[in-house]
Amino acid sequence: MAATTVDWIRNWEEIYDGRLKVMQRDYSIDDWSERAEDYSERRKTNQYEFGENVYAALAGHGIVGETFRVIEVGSGPGTFVIPFSKHAEHMTAVEPAEGMIRVIRENAREAGIDNFDIINRIWQDVSIPEIQGKYDLVITSTVIWMFRDIMAQISRMEEVTRGHCCVVEGIDSTDALGKKIWHTIMGEIPYPPYPGYPIVFNLLYQNGRIPQVRIVEAKSRRSTEKLMKMYNVFYSLYTELTPEVEEKIHSALLADSADGLHEGTYRSAVVWWDPKERREMV
Amino acid sequence: MSMTESVDWKEAWKESVDESSRVSTSSYWNSRACDYAKMVDTSDCDHGRRILNLFLEEGIIRNDWNVLDIASGPGALTLPFAERVRNVMAIEPAHQMASCLMENARRQGLINIGVIPKTWQEVKVSDYEKQFDMVTCCHALWQFPDLLEQVRRMETVSRGYCCLAHGVDVSERELKKSVGAPIEGRDQFITLFNYLNDEGIYPNVNILPYSLMWPVDAAIASKERFVEKYRPLTDKDRAIIREYIACHTTDGIYKIPGRMGVLWWKVG
């Protein structure tokens, strides 16, 4: 197939629809509340190393700094809220899951941070006119795969910033262990792809944006017990969570953990662009 | 599973550069040396300087570095880098280009530049294993239909970084159309980007503005040589080229603003 014939929006939608076809049900907001503890543990590894590295990559290019107001779409446990609040003027977290909000507040208390607020909604329900152009940076990480109408949501992000937009996505974020567990439980059914990087780069580029990329690396350390919970939530969406399934997850995790901890180093792509700057499209 | 597996990026790249790699011989570049050198001079090495500035801003350039610049031409990247690092080795098979480079170096008092008068494919990489802190190849990737093999060879000789730069979008589209020259049907930059990602090379990306500036006589000569790559030049071509350049010239300088994609990564 010739490169120019790829319709990246269509490609995105196909991946989105393909995932739903394999699932018994889609994620609900309660699933994310359930995930709050394990996700928080992951993002807090090495004093929020992931968030700090993303901040440093952006700050190095003047995309964020101490006078900046930043909004994060889908904050989870405070992935960027906590590390960014330490450096920037103010953070707004858009987060619908009560469990995640509780963890953001706990993590903020622990870090001594109070220069943030929370919009308790899904991003699609946030009223853009109320916050239009009020931020210097809009950032989101591993959230946009939940948006089937991807360019519509990206355009909404662009409307709230007078500066830059940033999307952070894992590179090949399903590690060998994740794939191994999938095949043990799901057999021949292919692992469901989640649209992320580099598709998002292609999408932005094809739609006239001028994206820049930095690859960052960060460690993730989770207790086997919390990781078990993550896998339980995940597989409850794809199959019946029987004691046999739980046992398969448990034994695979034990084999891959040391002293009750599971550790890995992950790479992510930090993709940012200035919505005011466009390529001339032929 | 690759998310972009529906496209064979390796094949797409090969198809995209096959024609240009075939017609752009060393003898073509010898015929272009004079006008290209004037452009680099008039532009004050603009594209090379912007790449250098990117790495200076990143804080990674060190003055004890050895840099390898593949397909240096008259030195758009070699010269600004040589001002900042210990040594730059240029790979340049077209002897006229290499002469222009060394003349430019002499004029600027730079004595830390060497030339290997070969194509990159002819260089025996085992002689240079991990000898360079950065390997660059700027606006010359069209000569590699077997891109990945050549990139892996660049990684072999680098102990630091690899940096590839390639134009984004097609420049002078109207002119190419008017003289019936082939216009790349594909966006080579995005093909390159996806090809590398599919092969597990995840580069940092900067898309930078730059300008090529030519004195009018050099601009005309460059376009004439360009048409001659494909077929003999006619009087009609000469007229079209002169008119197009006149329309895009200010104060005697023909200026093409463009963007280049800079893909760079640390070698593992």
Per-domain residue ranges for chain B?
9-172+183-211+259-266
CB atoms A3 and B9 under 8 Å: yes
CB atoms A199 and B203 under 8 Å: no
Asked if residue A184 belongs to a domain, the reply is: no
Alpha-carbon distance B125 to B119, whole Å? Answer: 12
Question: In the predicted model, is pLDDT for residue B20 greater than 70?
Answer: yes
| Residue A10's CATH number | 3.40.50.150
More confident residue, B57 or B30: B57
CB atoms B205 and A171 under 8 Å: no
Give CATH for domain B9-172+183-211+259-266. Answer: 3.40.50.150
Cβ count within 10 A of residue B238 = 15
Residues in chain B: 268
Sort out which chain B residues have CB atoms less than 8 A from A175's CB and list them. Answer: none
The first and second tokens of residue B51, run together, are 């790449």
What's the DSSP call for residue B118? S
Sign, CA dihedral B198-A175-A194-A156, equals negative
Asked if residue A134 belongs to a domain, the reply is: yes
CB atoms A279 and B169 under 8 Å: yes
- To the nearest whole Å, the CA of A282 is away from the closest chain B CA by 9
**C-alpha neighbours within 13 Å on the C-beta side of residue B161:** 20
Alpha-carbon distance A141 to A270, whole Å? Answer: 9
The first and second tokens of residue B222, run together, are 């460059």
Asked if residue A130 belongs to a domain, the reply is: yes
CB atoms B169 and A6 under 8 Å: no
The answer to whether A222 and A37 are in contact (CB under 8 A) is no
> A12 CB near a chain B CB, below 8 Å?
no
- The pLDDT of residue A32 is 81
Q: In this complex, which of A6, A195, A215 lies closest to B202 when CB atoms are compared?
A: A215
Q: Collapse the DSSP code of B102 into the 3-class scheme (helix H, G, I; strand E, B; otherwise coil) and give the result.
A: helix
Question: Which residue of chain A is at minimal alpha-carbon distance from B174?
Answer: A282
Alpha-carbon distance B155 to B232, whole Å? Answer: 40
Q: In this complex, which of B3, B173, B185 lies closest to A199 when CB atoms are compared?
A: B3
Q: Tokens 């790495």 sit at which residue?
A: B55
Sort out which chain A residues have CB atoms less than 8 A from B195's CB and list them. Answer: none
Asked if residue A224 belongs to a domain, the reply is: no
Alpha-carbon distance B261 to B201, whole Å? Answer: 15
The answer to whether A94 and A121 are in contact (CB under 8 A) is yes
> B264 CB near a chain A CB, below 8 Å?
no
Among B56, B176, B190, most A C-beta atoms within 10 A, so best to mutate, is: B190
> To the nearest whole percent, how much of chain B has pLDDT over 90?
61
CA-CA distances (angstroms) from residue B49 to B79, B97, B128, B259? Answer: 9, 19, 26, 14
N- to C-terminal Cα distance for chain A? 20
The lowest-confidence range among A12-16, A171-175, B18-22, B210-214 is A171-175
Residue A170: name the closest of A79, A69, A103 by CA: A79
The answer to whether A199 and B3 are in contact (CB under 8 A) is yes
- To the nearest whole Å, the CA of B127 is away from the closest chain A CA by 31
Alpha-carbon distance A24 to B210, whole Å? Answer: 51
Burial per residue of A172-200, b for 16 or more beta-carbon CB atoms within 10 angstroms, e otherwise: beeeebeeebbeebbeeeeebbbbbbbbb
Phi, psi for A80 (deg, rounded to 5) = -110, -25
- The pLDDT of residue B201 is 95
Q: Tokens 């590894």 sit at which residue?
A: A45
- The pLDDT of residue A81 is 95
Question: Which residue of chain B is at minimal alpha-carbon distance from A193?
Answer: B3
Confidence of residue B4 (pLDDT cuts 50, 70, 90): very low
Alpha-carbon distance A147 to A151, whole Å? Answer: 9
Confidence of residue B170 (pLDDT cuts 50, 70, 90): low
Residue type at position B238: R
> B174 CB near a chain A CB, below 8 Å?
no
**Per-residue model confidence as pLDDT tens for chain A (282 residues):** 444 578 999 999 999 998 888 888 888 888 888 888 888 888 888 899 999 999 999 999 999 999 999 999 999 999 999 999 999 999 999 999 999 999 999 999 999 999 999 999 999 999 999 999 999 999 999 999 999 999 999 999 999 999 999 999 999 766 778 888 888 988 988 888 888 899 999 999 999 999 999 999 998 888 888 888 888 888 888 888 899 988 988 888 888 888 888 888 889 999 999 999 998 776
The answer to whether B226 and B181 are in contact (CB under 8 A) is yes
Q: In this complex, which of B4, B8, B204 lies closest to A214 when CB atoms are compared?
A: B204
Q: Tokens 């794809």 sit at which residue?
A: A238
Q: In this complex, which of A196, A205, A213 lies closest to B190 when CB atoms are compared?
A: A205
Task: List the Cα angle B54/B56/B57 in 5-degree steps.
Answer: 65
CB atoms B3 and A195 under 8 Å: yes
Q: What is the mean pLDDT of residues B12-33?
A: 81
Alpha-carbon distance B231 to B206, whole Å? Answer: 36
Task: List the Cα angle A212/A217/A223 in 5-degree steps.
Answer: 140
Question: Which residue of chain A is at minimal alpha-carbon distance from B205?
Answer: A213
CB atoms B7 and A269 under 8 Å: no
- The pLDDT of residue B185 is 62
Question: In the predicted model, is pLDDT for residue B212 greater than 70?
Answer: yes
DSSP string for residues in chain A: --GGG--HHHHHHHHHHHHHHH-SS---HHHHHHHHHHHHHHHTHHHHHHHHHHHHHHHTTTSS-TT-EEEEES-TTTTTHHHHHHHSSEEEEE---HHHHHHHHHHHHHHT--SEEEE-S-GGGS-HHHHTT-EEEEEEES-GGG-SSHHHHHHHHHHHEEEEEEEEEESS-S-HHHHHHHHHHHTTSPPPP---TTHHHHHHHHTT---EEEEEEEEEEEEHHHHHHHHHHHHHHHS---HHHHHHHHHHHHHH-BTTEEEEEEEEEEEEE-TT--PPP-
CA-CA distances (angstroms) from residue B120 to A124, B149, B195? Answer: 52, 11, 20
Alpha-carbon distance A163 to A275, whole Å? Answer: 8
The first and second tokens of residue B191, run together, are 């093909």
Alpha-carbon distance B70 to B123, whole Å? Answer: 10
N- to C-terminal Cα distance for chain B? 23
Alpha-carbon distance B70 to A55, whole Å? Answer: 34
Q: Domain of A69?
A: 3-173+189-219+265-273
